[in-house]
Structure 1
Amino acid sequence: MNTQSFSGPGVELAEKSGLSSIIFDAADRTPGRPSLREIGKSESLTCLEVSDRVRNLASALVEAGVDVGERVAVLGRTSLDWVVLDLAVLAVGGVLVPVYPTSSPEQISHIVADSGSTHFAAESEFDAERLRDAGAATVLSFETVSQWSRSTSRRTPDERIAAVHRDDLAMIVYTSGTTGPAKGCMLSHGNMFAAAVNTVVRTGGMFGGTADEQAVTALGLPLAHVFGQTILFATLYGGSETHLLPGIPDTVAALPRIKPTFLALVPYALEKIRKAARSHLEEGVEDAAVSDGLTLLRSGKQASVAVPARPVLGMLGGRLRSVISGGASLDDSTAGFYAGFGVDILNCYGMTESATAVTVNEPKTNRIGTVGRPIPGTTVAIAPDGEVLVRGANVTRGYWGAAADRSPVDADGWLHTGDIGEIDDGYLRITGRKKEILVTSGGKNVAPTPLEDRIRLHPLVSNAVVIGDGRAYVAALITLDPAAVGLDDTLVRAELQAAVDDANSLVSRAESIRQFRVLSVDFTVDSGLLTSSLKLKRAAIDATFATEIADIYDMATPQTVR
């Protein structure tokens, strides 16, 4: 190994205990504390009320025939019913198989068949029909889940709950499938507990709040993604009052009402909020926020309100102090933008195979350009070829089903992430991905994601993909935001050139984008060009737009970038 970073011993789940013990223990310690709030409700359920609902539903699931180790596939958006079902399945030793609401029929069929799921639940009749089309015989509705969880006539299956152990399988979470069929990643109760609880430990009091003010957050991350699951259990353990919302758009719209003190979001949401804020800001304010924020972050200080903040802070609810940003890379200028308005963006790093949590920045020691230090109990190392390796209680035991023979963990317990990085003073910096690094015909290695992140910040851009592997120079395919509809083509082209020039300012001339093409359609999950977690499916994009790519490189003279 070239370098290693270890943040000391972590908190681990007791051997004879399962994940649902988090809410049962909270009910014993703080029964009256507000815990979960359903969308549209004026009051949150207390810890005791959540615990009672979980126990009631756990009993009903046993009566319905859910046996230990049986897989329960769940398809739906984030909601209180999803969370209670989540906890109840785990409480009785069942295994969750979350399914994205945006999944295609082929993806659902693959997950249902590969997981061997025997029980099914869905939010809507439409979702239930999709599960039935994939082979499900009987599908439980979220409405029935809600009714069962409120029933008090059942006897709690205490023996089943007590029999769940730390090393038991808790979830089979299917990976994004950027390079092929999704693989079912096995995560134990101990894996999920280690990831969630040590994220709480690493970030200080953010998840709990203070003696005078309970932490409040909004969770709209999909529970089909391990990031959403880990944040859910972190909020339950940390003591947050958590508002549950169907998705990211609902979350952004609800922030002024919820007034969160912290959030966990994906970069896409942070970029959208930044773009939306522009119409409320006077000329020059955004640039001033970015400049002041970057100065603060580079000096090692916490974010503070450095520019007139009322419109932006109002959109965020007025109390927001920190945001954990995960799932993809985030342009430094966006972190600077929020810091200029007093909000720390805490970049983190992880993957499904590590229960999403490997490293995270913390408010007091946030370091821009990095994804933070390892959570307690986790060791990060850099292999001789630059690959990031991870070892700890959060690391998967391997894959399920068809992918069972392809373990991502070596004989020494190191998870091979496929990402390229470096460690500086204990902080991890991700510099690229082994399979995504472009190598031009001139031998120049190019990391595409920083360029793509910067281009996407332009208000007329919806998405961008950088190409150039094996080619003479780097180019880009760009899709348009609805804001570009009806605008003059010459104006749009000039604006996009400005976006590309801005991205090129981040890199050397050899790494810069020399040409770009505007596509007539966007990248979507339905078209097979994005994964369910909105990651680019680069091979599929290359194949779909082969004609456009060929046109770029058939040009005799590439555009000169000044």
Structure 2
Amino acid sequence: MFETHTPALARLDAFTNVTDLLVRRAEEAPDHIAFEVPTDSGWKPVTTAAFLDAVRALAKGMVGVGLQPGDTVAIMAPTRYEWAVADLATWFAGGVVVPVYDSSSASQVDAIVSDAGVRLAVAGTRAHADLLNDALAQAGDETLGTWAMAGVENVPSLDELSARGADVSEAELESRRIRAGHDDPATIVYTSGTTGEPKGAVLTHANFLGQVLNIAAAYREVVNPQGNTIIFLPLAHVLARGLQLICIASGMRIAHLSEPAQVVPALAVLHPTFLVAVPRVLQKIQSAAGEKAAEKHLGRLWARAVATAILGGRFEEFRDAGHPRRAPLGFRVRKAVFDALFYARLRSVMGGRVGYILSGGATLDRDLSLFFRGIGVPVIEGYGLTETTAPLTGNLPGRIASGTVGLPLPGSTVRISPQGEVLARGVGVFSGYRDPRHDADAFVDGFFRTGDLGRIDDSGRVILEGRLKDVIVTSNGKTVVPARWEGAVEASPLVQHAVMVGEGKPYLSALLILDPEQSAAWVAANGSTLEPGIPGAVRAIDDPRLTAHLQTAVDAANALVSRSEQVRRFTVVLADLDDRELVTPTLKIKRREVLHRAADTIDTLYRGAAS
């Protein structure tokens, strides 16, 4: 099968633009709790009507200081409630939102502000305000300044900005709110990019409306007024913003958190019904449970519990596929025992009410997906890009096939090119980048070229197989897609990123970039220490015991692939994983930059090798 399509479930013609999603929800349920905001005394509820009032007030302030229809507003801040207010307020004022990752470097902020022609900026912290102010000053054109979310000395606050709208009438604001149509830009999102320069993807109001309305219709079991979630992904990422709009439109309660350390304590208080997490987070949840079991001398029992959960996930998968098969009595008894010992505690750690987890951003290991399903928390794996306004495909409740990223979401079509590239067309697919030069190779026959390799199974589900630009051709002429091997090695808790190398070389080798916390704990437990990574460097680690331990993961990965795809040599390395020149804000490794910084280390892997 080379093309698969899912018809749209929703019409857009009853909506003027994205702001209608909030306006209509406020008309339907003004007193429903839309947000929970952290305060010193706990979590404060915010109703839909109160949120709308805050959005209108800030939008009036933007109009009051001179924001014109179509002007761009940069938002650079950690994930928090005020981000949502500023996002919607910009649209109410007729502006275009330009999100900036809060971890961006000065050069990245300068480039985005200049390219997008930013007129007004919203900052989360003093450091963000300084970066934005410097970028606005360099832009040269008359701007409307930087405004801070809260408590930033010598920077005017959003409350002060709202006050500047006292003379803006409701009629004028309403005129601004409904000015933008379906084809007008809603946001310009600069891709973080694992290769090449960042590109400004222009997403329209129709892109957001198409995604929000269709996804909400397809996932009513997950997103509804009875549910709640915690958003801890960066709101600069289009997935987090799309999810936020879906929740606002559907009445699902949202809490925001920016610090990973805050998430677990919050789960026990907020009891979310739905979470979004990258595969690495799920790996850490599983490995942390295994470590606790080992501390209690229950390691062998935990291994059996993992195997039982995976088998349970398979039984669930059979049922979804229309082949119900009752599990044997012995299995059901074993599962009940392990539920009491392990599974129930894991569900409790996640708040006790999580019905589904959405996983994206990287390929999810099939057994890890089955494991979570087996413990009673199904993982819905999906796939999308900035240019598709986040989700393009996804598994559905009751139709989850682990190891795939599911069917095209309603209103979307996926095609596989003769070269194996995933091509996309549909309601969420953008029409082009801000710089037309970037469009030259972005489309073919009306389809967006994702740059990902994949295939479509007999059921129409998409299976990803790596990145087109990551393909390696050895000196022997063998073409290798490294994704499967790398993903298998990254299943080790100690490995944050595996990077296969070997372009033009006689054999394949690899760099195993350590997870700082997990690896430090491992070496300490084995009577050694691990020097911290040097900023800017990719440093080789000479620890024979650690290398021997990771050899097991490499051997297991090699067993999954053909001989020509196996890695012969590897080096364990440390890197600064907070370096945004090395790792994207969505935690993807920038392969080209790694290869550049580790050039000397890679050379040692091929010393004495015949070319």
Please report the TM-score for the alignment, with normalisation by the length of structure 1.
0.92
Provide the alpha-carbon RMSD of the alignment: 2.5
Correspondent of 1:513 among 536, 559, 567: 567
| TM superposition shift of 1:439 | 2.5
* CA drift at 1:296: 3.8
Aligned AA (1:383)? S
* Aligned counterpart, 2:89: 88
**Alignment match, 1:269:** 281
Partner Cα distance (1:401, 1:246) in 2: 31
Residue 286 and residue 176 in structure 1: after superposition, are their counterparts in 2 closer, same or farther (change >3 A)?
Answer: farther
Q: Distance in 2 between matches of 1:319 and 1:118?
A: 43
Distance 1:377 1:236, change over 3 A: same
- Residue of structure 2 in register with 1:464 after alignment: 498
8 Å CA contact 2:465–2:483 kept in 1: the answer is no
Residue range with higher mean Cα deviation, 42-51 or 62-71: 42-51
| Matching of residues 357-506 of structure 1 within 5 Å | 357-401=391-435, 403=437, 405-406=439-440, 408-410=442-444, 412-424=445-457, 425-480=459-514, 481-485=516-520, 486=524, 487=526, 488=528, 489-506=543-560
Contact 1:289 1:340 in 2 (8 A): no
Contact 1:408 1:416 in 2 (8 A): yes
**Partner SS for 1:338:** helix
Following the alignment from structure 2 to structure 1, what is the Cα–Cα distance between the partners of residues 169 and 288? 51
Deviation at 1:120, TM superposition (A): 0.7
Structure 2: distance between partners of 1:12 and 1:146: 37
Among 194, 198, 206, which residue is 1:190 paired with? 206
- Which residue, 242, 245, 250 being the options, matches 1:233? 245
Q: Is the 8 A contact 1:175 1:185 kept in 2?
A: yes
User: Quick check: 1:141 aligned with 2:148?
Assistant: yes
Deviates more, 1:492-501 or 1:21-30: 492-501
Cα gap change, 1:126 to 1:270, in 2 (>3 Å): same
Give the aligned partner of residue 235 of structure 2. 223
Q: Which residue identity is paired with 1:328?
A: A
Which whole-Å CA distance do the structure 1 matches of 2:569 and 2:210 have between them? 46
2:154 aligned residue:
none
- 1:8-58 Cα offsets, whole Å, 9 max, x none, are 124243376111211111111111211111224433211111112111111
Tell me the residue number matched to 1:321.
355
Q: Is the 8 A contact 2:229 2:274 kept in 1?
A: yes
- Does the 8 Å contact 1:349/1:359 carry over to 2? yes
Partner of 1:524: 577
Mapping for residues 22-37 of structure 1, pairs under 5 Å: 22-37=21-36
Partners of 2:252 and 2:163 in 1: CA distance: 23
Shift in CA distance, 544/439, structure 1 to aligned 2, threshold 3 Å: same
- After superposition, where does 1:243-254 map in structure 2 within 5 Å? 243-254=255-266
Cα distance in 1 between the residues matched to 2:259 and 2:446: 35
With over 3 angstroms needed to count, the CA separation of the structure-2 counterparts of 1:238 and 1:471, relative to structure 1, is farther
Instruction: Please list every run of 5 or more consecutive structure 2 residues that lacks an aligned counterpart in the other structure.
Output: 138-142, 151-156, 321-331, 529-542
> How far does residue 475 in structure 1 lie from its aligned partner after superposition?
1.6
1:159 maps to what in 2?
A: 175
- Residue type at the aligned position of 2:450: T
8 Å contact kept, 2:510–2:569: yes
Residue 539 of structure 1 aligns with which residue?
A: 592
- 1-side partners of 2:436 and 2:359: how far apart? 32
Quickly say closer, same or farther: Cα 1:407–1:62, change in 2 above 3 A.
farther
Give 2:383's aligned residue.
349
The one-letter code sitting in structure 2 at the alignment partner of 1:36 is: F
- Identical residues among aligned pairs (%): 34
Equivalent pair of 1:378/1:393 in contact (CA under 8 Å): yes
Whichever residue aligns with residue 439 of structure 1, its letter is: V
AA aligned opposite 2:3: Q
Structure 1 segment 266-305 matched on structure 2, within 5 A: 266-281=278-293, 282-299=298-315, 300=317
TM-score normalized by the length of structure 2: 0.85
- State the SS of the aligned residue for 1:58: helix
Q: How far apart are the structure 1 equivalents of 2:443 and 2:578? A: 29
Task: Report which stretch shifted further, 128-137 or 157-166.
Answer: 128-137
User: What does residue 128 of structure 2 align with?
Assistant: 127
| Residue 70 of structure 1, CA deviation | 0.5
Cα distance in structure 2, aligned partners of 1:151 and 1:323:
42
**Per-residue Cα deviation, 1:110-155 (whole angstroms, up to 9, x for no partner):** 1111111111110011110011222346211112225656999564
Task: Name whichever of 44-53 and 300-309 sits farther off.
Answer: 300-309
Alpha carbons of structure 1 residues 534 and 314: separation in structure 2 relative to 1, 3 Å: same
Give yes or no for the alignment of 1:114 onto 2:134: no
Bigger Rg over Cα: 2
CA deviation after TM superposition for structure 1 residue 461, in Å: 2.6
Contact 2:62 2:162 (8 Å CA) reproduced: no
The 3 A distance-change label for structure 1 pair 405 and 330 is closer
